[in-house]
Amino acid sequence: MSAPLLIHLAQNVAVLEQTEYTDPKTGKTKRLKDTGGTWLKVAMAHCNFAQEPDRYSTAGWRALAEAAGTNTDLAQKYSDIFAALGWLTKREPVRSEGGRRGKPANCWEVTLPNLPPKTLDLWQEPAKPKQPAPVQPITEAPSKRSRRSSAPVSLGQVVGSVVQQAQPAAEVVAIPTPQWSAEALVAAERAKQVLLQKGAAEGLTIPKQLMLLGQETEGWEKRYGKQELCPLKQVEQALAAGTCTDSEAVCYLASGRSHLKTLQEFQTSEN
């Protein structure tokens, strides 16, 4: 299961359902929103079968149809529509289909619009320029090694150098949002995972899990009542000031009460 793909689908479903496509049988142009919910179930099934980091879905038509609660004809129809829209990209088979005498299985890469990159560009030590060793005449006596005048580099300085040279990742979600700090984005991603796990533990279906996740994440960027800052902004400032821990920030965002209490009120009630 690819949690990032499911989260991306949930956060962008309101935009994706407005997409128009041409019906392969009738030739008429329709919106996905007007065709019922089967298209969304097939899309979720592909995201559920996809694996990280390649985002390949290799489920057969029968498995795809069962996961989407439909028949194989509709599973194949919407997969072909997604391929035409660029949401799925056909790849070379990576395995054989079970029970079909070595027939290659379907292999799709999930390529939904505005997906974040598969891998983050992490810091790498810059390559050192190659310099030829100095040539020293044989008659010249070797010079004494000079003592190091600089102080040893501390671990904090090394970590700071890594952070400064690390390239910022792409936006966590495709929908335009303010530029949050890296700490706030990490807390938000962990909170999303907690919400998905809570939904699964409560026995909610995948569509309901995604619906609730979309509602919660959308509310993190809104102000409620007399709150001067939205929940995510409160988390960002508190993490920067050191007035809350990473765990407290995640619990606050995933509590479902960020629209009722400020972060400070939440910390007080929990303690």
The pLDDT tens digits for 104-128 are 778 889 989 888 777 655 455 666 6
Unique residue bearing structure tokens 């949930």? 10
248 three-class SS: helix
Out of 84, 110, 136, pick the residue that ends a domain: 110
CATH, residue 83: 1.10.10.10
Q: What pTM, to 2 d.p., does this model score? A: 0.45
Instruction: State residue 207 phi and psi, 5-degree precision.
Output: -60, -40
Q: What is the residue range of 224's domain?
A: 177-270
The pLDDT tens digits for 177-209 are 457 888 888 888 888 888 888 888 888 887 777
Interatomic CA distance for residues 45 and 184, integer angstroms: 30
Out of 57, 81, 110, pick the residue that ends a domain: 110
Share of the chain above pLDDT 90, in %: 6
Unique residue bearing structure tokens 């129809």? 77
Strands (E), 212-258: none
